[in-house]
Amino acid sequence: MPFPFVILLWILLAADPNEVRSLLQQGLLALQKGQLAEARKDLEQASRLDTKNPYVWSSLAQVYLRMKEPVKASAAAKTAEVVGANNPVIDHALAMFYSEAGDLGRAAQWEEKFATSGKADSNALARTAELYLNAGNGKRALQLAQQAESANETPATEDLLGRSLLATGDAAQATQHFKNAWEHAQNDPQIAFDFAHSLLKAQAFQQAADVAEQALKSNPKDAQLTLTLGVARYGQRRFEEAISLFLEVIAIDPQIEQPYEFLGRVLDQAGNRLPEIVKDYETWAGKNPQTAKAQLLLAKGLLAGDPKSKRAEDLLRRSIALDPKEWEAPFQLGVLLASEHDYAGAAKELTRSIELNGKEPMPHYHLARVYDRLGEPEKAKAEREIHQRLSAPAGQ
C-alpha cells in the first residue's frame, strides 16, 4: 500500500521526542529490514515503558502478524485502536495491518477513516475504494471510486471506476471507463488487461486482441496479457494461435490454471503440438497430485493421442476420487469404457456425469449409444431426445 506508515512515523517521531523514541525507531528500522526478532524485542520494551503509545502497538501488531502469532497481533491492533482513537496515522496503520491480515472489509473501514480525516494523501480515496472492491462491497467501492475519479482524474482512477462499475453489474459503463483509461495508458498492463477482459465478456474478440497486442509490445512476458490474447484468439476460433499463446503462458508462469483448461478444450486441434501439451500436463499433474482437474486434463491429453489409454483410465478414476462432484471425469471415463465394450460400466459413469450436470448434451448422446449396445431402446430414445433438446440453438 502506498504512503508507507513507517515514513509517517519517522516524521512524527522527529517532531515528538520522548523516552521510547529510540526503541520505537530501532524497532521500526528492524521491521523495515525484516529483522522481526529484533523489532519485537525493541517494541515490546517500548510498550512496557509507554503502555498508551499507539505507534508502538500498531507496529507490534505488524511484527506479531509477520511472526505468525495472530492472537497477539489482533490484541495489539485492538490496543492501538483504543489508545490511538481519532489519530489518522493510526487509522492508516490499522488499515495496512488488517489488509495484510486478510480482513479487507475491516481494512477498508479504517482506510476510509484516514481518507476522510483531512490528513490523507491524494490517493487515499482510491485505496479505500480498492479495499472495498476486493472485500466484495462493490456498492461502497463505486461510491468512493466516483469521488476519487472526480477529485483526481487519472488512468488509474478511471480503471478503478470501471472495475467498481463492473462489480455492480454495469458492464457497458465499465467498458467505457476502461476505454478512457486505456486511451491514456495503452502500455499499462493492468489497465490493458481490464479493458481487454471487459471486451472479451462482450465477445468483442478482435478489439480485445488489439488491446492485448498493443500492451504486449511493451510487456512481452506478461502472462495475464498473453492469456487474454489467447482467449481472444480462441473466441475467434483461431485455434493454432490460441494453442501457441496458451503454451507461452505456461512457459511464463506454470502456476496459472486457465491455459491448461483452455488447452483441454482444443485438444482435437492440437496436431503436432499435442506432445508439448501432454508434457506440460504431466508436469502440472506431477506437481499437483491432489488436484482433480490436473489429473483429468492429463487424462484428456493422453486420450487425444490414444483413445484407449490405460493410464488415462487410472487418472480419470483418481480425478473422480479427488472431486466426486465434477461431471467431466466420469463422462470421459464412460466414453473410454464404452470404447472398451464395458457398456455396463460406461452406463454407470455416464449416468453419474448426468446426475452431476444434466445440462451438458454430450453425456446424453454417449449414454444413448451405450443403451443401444445394452439392448435398451426406450432408454436410448429418451437420451437422444434430451441430447437433441440441449443441442438445439437458443430460442428453438
Read off the pLDDT of residues 16-58 as tens digits, 9 standing for 90 and up: 557 678 899 899 999 989 999 999 999 999 999 999 999 999 9
Cell numbers at 270, concatenated:
492440437
Cell numbers at 280, concatenated:
506440460
Q: Is the backbone of residue 258 left (phi > 0), alpha (psi -120 to 50) or beta?
A: alpha
Over 60: is that where the pLDDT of 13 sits?
no
Residue ranges covered by each domain of the chain: 1-102, 328-396
Q: Residue 392 has what DSSP assignment?
A: S
In this structure, the number of other CB atoms found within 10 A of the CB of residue 76 comes to 25
* CATH class label, 1-102: mainly alpha
Whole-number pLDDT of residue 21: 85
Rounded CA separation 115/129 (Å): 10
Whole-number pLDDT of residue 118: 85
Cell numbers at 139, concatenated:
456498492
Is domain 328-396 annotated with CATH 1.10.3720.10?
Answer: no
Do 1-102 and 328-396 share a fold? yes
Quick one: what percent of the chain has pLDDT higher than 70?
94
Q: Residue 329 has what DSSP assignment?
A: H
Instruction: Give the tens place of pLDDT for each residue, 371-387.
Output: 999 999 999 999 999 99
* Entry pTM: 0.84
Spatial CB neighbours of 69, under 8 Å, sequence gap ≥ 6: none
Rounded CA separation 164/156 (Å): 12
